[in-house]
């Protein structure tokens, strides 16, 4: 289990990676991602993805977003697969748009990190978002 100090070090020190099987490190990345989006620090948010879209496309996706909040939904689990650890983090996302409209989504993020094996780099041993599946929550829920 990560302590608050370990989590702080994991996010503050780029050479420190959280324990490989601890999904709380993945949860902190999802929180960090949305905090960066809320600050409009799209480069920092984009850097947390193992992305398939360009930075320009990514930034355009948040062009109307004023602020966003994420609520991770336990339990948080991770599992190993072929030299990597994967974590599935369920979330609720609440966003405010420039128009004043509110949006709400539920879904999950999948994060990956390489196991602590000889030859792996610090960057590979950090959690990265590899996919997201979010669905809108109908009004009134």
17-41: pLDDT as tens digits: 545 457 899 999 999 999 999 999 9
Domains of the chain plus CATH, in order, are: 4-136 (3.10.450.50)
Q: Is the pTM of this model over 0.75?
A: yes
Give 93-132 pLDDT, tens digit per residue: 999 999 999 999 999 999 999 988 888 899 888 999 999 9
How many other CB atoms sit within 10 Å of the CB of residue 46? 20
Give 55-84 pLDDT, tens digit per residue: 999 999 999 999 999 999 999 888 887 789
Buried b (16+ CB within 10 A) or exposed e, 103-131: eebbbbbebbbbeeeeeeeeebbbbbbbe
pLDDT over 70, % of the chain? 83
Q: Which residue has the tokens 């420190």?
A: 16
Helices 4-12 and 23-38: angle between axes, nearest 10 degrees? 60
């Amino acid at each position: 289990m990560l302590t608050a100090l370990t989590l702080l070090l994991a996010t503050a020190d780029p050479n420190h990676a959280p324990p490989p099987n601890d999904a709380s490190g993945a949860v902190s990345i999802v929180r960090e991602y949305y905090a960066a989006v809320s600050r409009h620090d799209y480069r920092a948010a984009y850097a947390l993805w193992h992305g398939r879209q360009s930075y320009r496309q990514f930034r355009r996706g948040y062009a109307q977003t004023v602020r966003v909040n994420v609520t991770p939904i336990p339990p948080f689990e991770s599992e190993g697969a072929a030299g990597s650890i994967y974590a599935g983090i369920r979330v609720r996302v609440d966003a405010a748009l420039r128009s004043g409209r509110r949006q709400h989504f539920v879904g999950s993020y999948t994060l990956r990190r390489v196991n602590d094996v000889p030859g792996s780099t610090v960057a590979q041993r950090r959690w990265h978002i590899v996919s997201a599946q979010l669905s809108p929550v109908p009004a009134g829920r």
